[in-house]
Amino acid sequence: MIITDEKTLRMPCEDVKPEEVGELVDLLERELKHSAELGRPGIGLALSQIGIHKKLAIVRINRELQVNLANCRIDKHYDPALFVGEGCLSIPDKTIDTIRYKEIYVVDNLIFPHSFIATDLMAVAIQHELDHLAGTLMLDRAVSLPKKKSKPNDLCPCGSGAKYKRCCQSK
């Protein structure tokens, strides 16, 4: 069951052992599937969200974009941008705007040194899940958009560089 208690979610996690990973990934997969069956689909889940305080999370955007994050850290990050409407299974029925990096360099030292680059939605999801493993919630990353009324031909306040009418006006 996915935890919503903020005090429990803020507890930092310890490293996961290599021999624990397979069973724990299966557990996260089942919880993510169960949440979707209950009408609360998500793209990622951290062990801390189900009460196990070990550094392991999964991100499942589609069949081609799937990662397991065991004892990972973000080594480098580029291009901060406004991410509108970030959600969390542990904070139901709430979305917030955050600043997240468009590109991150992730290092995984669980079994052997391994690294990869994540971009766009995958980068945002990884940042979100790794925050969970550090005891940080999306609420801690909340930003407020300026209250200025945008006109259709103005640059969009989300920072995309596109005109407002072609970006967030319809949202």
Q: SS3 for 85?
A: strand
Whole-model pTM over 0.95: no
- Exposed e or buried b per residue across 67-106, where buried means at least 16 C-beta atoms within 10 angstroms of its C-beta: bbbbbbeeeebeeebbbbebbbbbbeeeebbbebbbebbb
The one-character DSSP state at 14 is B
Q: What are the tens digits of pLDDT across the range 81-134?
A: 999 999 999 999 899 999 999 999 999 877 666 899 999 999 999 999 999 999
20 counts as catalytic: no
Q: What are the tens digits of pLDDT across the range 10-39?
A: 999 999 999 999 999 999 999 999 999 999
Q: From the candidates 31, 37, 64, 129, which is the catalytic residue?
A: 129
Tell the CATH superfamily of the 6-142+153-166 domain: Peptide deformylase (3.90.45.10)
The C-alpha atoms of residue 152 and residue 103 are separated, in whole angstroms, by: 29
Query: 56-60 and 91-108: which strand pairing?
Result: unpaired
The C-alpha atoms of residue 10 and residue 135 are separated, in whole angstroms, by: 4
* In the chain, domain spans: 6-142+153-166
State the sign of the Cα–Cα–Cα–Cα dihedral 159, 171, 93, 73.
Answer: negative
